[in-house]
Structure 1
Amino acid sequence: MQTRKQLITPAPATIPDQTKLARHTGAPEHGPGILFFSGGSALRDVARAITHYTHNTVHLITPFDSGGSSATIREAFNIPALGDIRSRLMALADQSVPDNQAIFDLFSHRLHAKASPELLSEELASLADGTHALFRPLPAARREAICRQLRQFAELMPSGFDLHGASVGNLVLAAAFLANRERFTPAIDFFSRLLNVLGTVLPVVDCNGHLAVRLADGKVLVGQHRFTGKEFPPIRSAIQDIWLTPSLQSASRITTPICDTSAAHIRRADLICYPMGSFYSSIIATLLPHGTGTAIAANPCPKVFVPNTGADPELFGHDLPAQVERLLRTLRSDSPETIADSDVLNIILLDKENGRYKGTLNRDALAARGISVLELPLVNDDSEPYMDGDRLSATLISLCD
């Protein structure tokens, strides 16, 4: 790796940096480019809050989810998961646009989980023709743009498609994806224009793969839904390895390169963040594509790890030091001999007073590896045990050069 200047971690007393916050609040369109590796809902509040300071965040999302509404669509059309991408786009929607709340309500709506197939088909029809009650607040142009996608989905939907619990937002994004020859960019662009999204959301890879893990007891679980603790009982043996597979029927490993567009965003980011969230399925999963660690190491910007302050079922058998080592091992996997720890991680953000962490970090040992531990009040009474989105956003903005 290239020689780079030593990053100096600010003193806790200087964060949040009120001067930086005031400057970026006044011109968020010129704000710093903070890049997040994540998926799921854990970063939703941060995504909303950070738009007050910058409209230039980049969110690289995992497309490997195999549970919920995404699973039904994936199985029917053999496409990557779209739900986490849709969720992040909605979190970044311009909150100052009056109609966006109505679109948010529409895209958050799920068809009834226990209704008869006939009633579900009727509701989809009312959505597709714009007569559903959720369309009433929308102006005609936006209504028709959404209805067009829902009609497209209804036409493409295979016979017997299970609409129980279907997310309207996922149906719309799936239709846009399928109508554009299964390309993410035009589908995401449609969503972004519709909601005036204040940031960039991308899949980390354009790959229809799945996640597999090996547990300490030797068991191999194929499919994200089998180890997140949501649809199956929580795991009771620690995850020791994670990789990509071609399908839910195969545990064989596949290697896929990171998208060129995603790699370019990584190389020019002003700060890279590995945030809280499901540690393996949301964070580590986005770092698996080949070339990710190399792109991160090539950028001399600050790299920040924000461990979970609450419980994460995927971290059974992992204390905080183990999480750091697992993260570093993944980040350096492209070239362990040439990528140093400090090339891919510089700061670990903790709230020791309010966070619920297992284990203690050896600060001196980490400092010798070029990694600083920064303790700040990131959890408040309303957010406990989780981090407050406003506080973490202000902290990340303050850490940008």
Structure 2
Amino acid sequence: MKRIVLFSGGSACRAINIALCGKAQLTRIVPAWDSGGSSKIIRERIGLLAVGDLRQALMTMAHGEGRAGDVVKICNARLSSNLGKDEALSEFLFYSQGRHPLLERMEPGLRGAILNYLKTFSSTVGNDFDFRNGSIGNFILAGATLAHNGDVNTAVFVFRKLCSIEGDVWASSLDSDLTLSATLKNGKRVDRQDVITKLSEEDAKVGIAEIELSTASGTPPTANTAVIEALARADLIAFGPGSFYTSLLPHLHIAEIADALADVRCPRVWIGNVLQCRETTDRSLGDLLQGVEALWARVQPQQGRLLTHALENRVLFPFEKTVGAFSYLSHGPSSNETYEAITGEYEDAWSRGQHDGQAIANVLLDLASRQSATTK
């Protein structure tokens, strides 16, 4: 099977991930700078790398591989958000003390490992921690990281074994103090990933000019060595779909990842989103990809283009059409394209604004196979 590496956020490429399972050796590369939701609370409390996107990608991989058993059901569980802190703690204890029916029926070794990780997490954060709306899977993964001396890669490896997952999922960096910032076109600075993804309508109209990925210490972000190894072996590397400025573009700001991408000779494909979002209001896919290549020219000035292909969803309306609050992403200018555009009807027939995972997977597998045939 072809080795495909997919840069993405935690959930946007879910359908594509599922469609590729069993047809490719898939590696997901997810952000390490998530600053919202349950990940934010864990980061602020104990300073761990954000685990939310890792957990989502692992659960998607498990589902795609047909391994959505009791462990996955537990890891996808989320505590109630409308309770007081004491009631939320009691709900957490229902899991961590092994009283949940799904935990009670697990074989002892598996159950013991999960409860150990929940106990490790609980003892570290203390009983005054705000468990409301927390993800049990995030707590397990954070507990596993703590139990293995803060080694996220080991925690992910153990997590994969718990769920019998074959595909790989890695954070692009192991730095636990990464912060994403954006500068708008009017000079306004917006800090933190979760704030950037929820730009006000006014700021979204102004638009993002550039982003910055930084560490608290001021040292440059470092790459996860597992990511570098995956890139070196890849038959195809894909970016997206996902939030352009907060899930996809920041990976290129990690110098070692950019260096590794400069060394590969396999197809490098950008999967265009179906819809605009707050981050890409009034932008076309052409605008965004020009931004990708402009950044690439700054970080790798001697390497020529980054992308070999771009997948563009065919917009079937001769007028502006929206799904909810957002318009379809148009193709935009093509005069400066340095990549091969592959246009198709990539929108899911049942979920408007979402990708048809099988349609995208078919294109990626075809490109990877053609590359192999050319290489031979």
Q: TM-score, normalised by structure 1?
A: 0.84
| Paired AA for residue 351 in structure 1 | N
Question: Which residue, out of 54, 62, 84, partners 2:53?
Answer: 84
- Alignment map for 1:26-105 (pairs within 5 Å): 31-54=1-24, 56-93=25-62, 100-105=68-73
Separation in structure 2 between the aligned mates of residue 266 and residue 132 of structure 1, nearest angstrom: 40
The answer as to 2:217 corresponding to 1:245 is: no
Question: Which residue, out of 203, 208, 215, partners 2:184?
Answer: 215
- Alignment map for 1:348-367 (pairs within 5 Å): 348-354=310-316, 356-362=328-334, 365-366=336-337
Describe the shift of the 1:161–1:265 C-alpha distance in structure 2 as closer, same or farther (beyond 3 A): same
Match of 2:280 in 1: 315
Q: Could you give the per-residue CA deviations for residues 293-320 of structure 1, whole angstroms, max 9, x where no partner exists?
A: 2211211101111111113211124222
Separation in structure 2 between the aligned mates of residue 385 and residue 101 of structure 1, nearest angstrom: 29
Separation in structure 2 between the aligned mates of residue 353 and residue 313 of structure 1, nearest angstrom: 19
Separation in structure 1 between the aligned mates of residue 297 and residue 69 of structure 2, nearest angstrom: 42
Separation in structure 2 between the aligned mates of residue 233 and residue 73 of structure 1, nearest angstrom: 26
Structure 1 gaps, min length 5: 1-30
Q: Secondary structure at the match of 1:291?
A: helix
Match of 2:322 in 1: none
- Alignment map for 1:1-400 (pairs within 5 Å): 31-54=1-24, 56-93=25-62, 100-208=68-176, 209-229=178-198, 233-234=200-201, 235-236=203-204, 237-247=206-216, 254-336=219-301, 338-341=302-305, 344-354=306-316, 356-362=328-334, 365-366=336-337, 369=338, 371-400=339-368
Contact in 1 for aligned 2:276/2:283 (Cα 8 Å): no
Separation in structure 2 between the aligned mates of residue 359 and residue 289 of structure 1, nearest angstrom: 28
Contact in 1 for aligned 2:5/2:236 (Cα 8 Å): yes
Q: Could you give the per-residue CA deviations for residues 339-392 of structure 1, whole angstroms, max 9, x where no partner exists?
A: 101xx2111111214592235231x542xx3x1111122223213222111211
Contact in 2 for aligned 1:292/1:331 (Cα 8 Å): no
Structure 2 gaps, min length 5: 318-327, 372-376
Stretch deviating more after TM superposition (380-389 or 215-224): 380-389
| Paired AA for residue 106 in structure 2 | L
What is the number of residues matched between the two proteins?
356
Match of 1:16 in 2: none
Stretch deviating more after TM superposition (201-210 or 166-175): 201-210
Separation in structure 2 between the aligned mates of residue 133 and residue 382 of structure 1, nearest angstrom: 34
Aligned-residue CA RMSD in angstroms? 2.0
Q: Could you give the per-residue CA deviations for residues 1-54 of structure 1, whole angstroms, max 9, x where no partner exists?
A: xxxxxxxxxxxxxxxxxxxxxxxxxxxxxx111111111210112112211312
Contact in 2 for aligned 1:293/1:333 (Cα 8 Å): no
Q: Could you give the per-residue CA deviations for residues 112-133 of structure 1, whole angstroms, max 9, x where no partner exists?
A: 1121222222222221121123
Describe the shift of the 1:245–1:96 C-alpha distance in structure 2 as closer, same or farther (beyond 3 A): closer
Describe the shift of the 1:93–1:200 C-alpha distance in structure 2 as closer, same or farther (beyond 3 A): same
Runs (4 or more) in structure 1 with deviation over 4 Å come to: 94-98
Separation in structure 2 between the aligned mates of residue 241 and residue 42 of structure 1, nearest angstrom: 22
Describe the shift of the 1:263–1:96 C-alpha distance in structure 2 as closer, same or farther (beyond 3 A): closer
Separation in structure 2 between the aligned mates of residue 312 and residue 205 of structure 1, nearest angstrom: 25
Q: Secondary structure at the match of 2:2?
A: coil
Contact in 1 for aligned 2:39/2:138 (Cα 8 Å): yes
Separation in structure 1 between the aligned mates of residue 331 and residue 13 of structure 2, nearest angstrom: 24
| Paired AA for residue 8 in structure 2 | S
Q: Secondary structure at the match of 1:114?
A: coil
Describe the shift of the 1:354–1:295 C-alpha distance in structure 2 as closer, same or farther (beyond 3 A): farther
Separation in structure 2 between the aligned mates of residue 245 and residue 176 of structure 1, nearest angstrom: 26
Contact in 1 for aligned 2:21/2:65 (Cα 8 Å): no
| Paired AA for residue 340 in structure 1 | G
Separation in structure 2 between the aligned mates of residue 125 and residue 264 of structure 1, nearest angstrom: 39
Q: TM-score, normalised by structure 2?
A: 0.89
Contact in 1 for aligned 2:117/2:143 (Cα 8 Å): yes
Q: Could you give the per-residue CA deviations for residues 153-209 of structure 1, whole angstroms, max 9, x where no partner exists?
A: 111113521111110000000001111111111100111001111311111111121
Separation in structure 2 between the aligned mates of residue 125 and residue 163 of structure 1, nearest angstrom: 10
| Paired AA for residue 78 in structure 1 | G
Separation in structure 2 between the aligned mates of residue 332 and residue 135 of structure 1, nearest angstrom: 51
Separation in structure 1 between the aligned mates of residue 153 and residue 10 of structure 2, nearest angstrom: 20
